[in-house]
Every structure is written in C-alpha cells, then in structure tokens.
Amino acid sequence: MTKVGGRIVILKPRRDAKPLFPFIHDAWRADDLTIRVVDTARIRAMGYETVTTDAVLIVTRRNVTIRLRGSMICGS
C-alpha cells in the first residue's frame, strides 16, 4: 500500500516478482505504478535477530523512472 496524489493505492506483486521473505516480493504493481526493491546485499548493521542492508527502490510511473536509495531490514 502506498499513497499517490493523495489517494491510497493497493499494490500487488507483479507476475514475475521473486519472493524476498514470506509475503514480501521484489516487484509490486498497481495500474501505471511499478515499484521494485533491489537488495544490494551490503550489510549496514547486524543485530541478534535483524540484518539491515542497503537497498534501491526503483519507482516507475507514466514512463518516468526514479531510483531511491534506502535500506531493507530483515528480522525474525
């Protein structure tokens, strides 16, 4: 789920999406919006039950693509 233009948009996994974790996929889609999550596998922080890695979000809407840097947190 995300917000676009003040409206809530429900995202669904793309047909070609690969699972990252249970219920989490690397590619999501709703109408003309596509969001991909690319895990760089570079560990930023590591705890007893979590790992934080660098990630890139690739957002495409109406044939415009934006790349955003962020992090992905995995834990139990």
For every residue of 8-64, DSSP letters joined together read EE--EE-TT--EEETTEESEEEETTEEEEEEEEEEEEEE-SSEEEEEEEEEEEETTE
Q: Does pTM top 0.85 for this prediction?
A: no
Sorting pLDDT into bands at 50, 70 and 90, what band is 69? Answer: very high
Q: What is the pLDDT of residue 42?
A: 86
Pull the structure tokens for residue 23: 């219920």
Q: What is the pLDDT of residues 3-39, one digit of tens each?
A: 888 999 999 999 999 887 777 788 999 989 999 988 8
Percent residues over pLDDT 90 in the chain: 43
Does 41 score more than 90 pLDDT?
no
Q: What is the pLDDT of residue 76?
A: 66
How many whole angstroms separate alpha carbon 65 and alpha carbon 49? Answer: 34
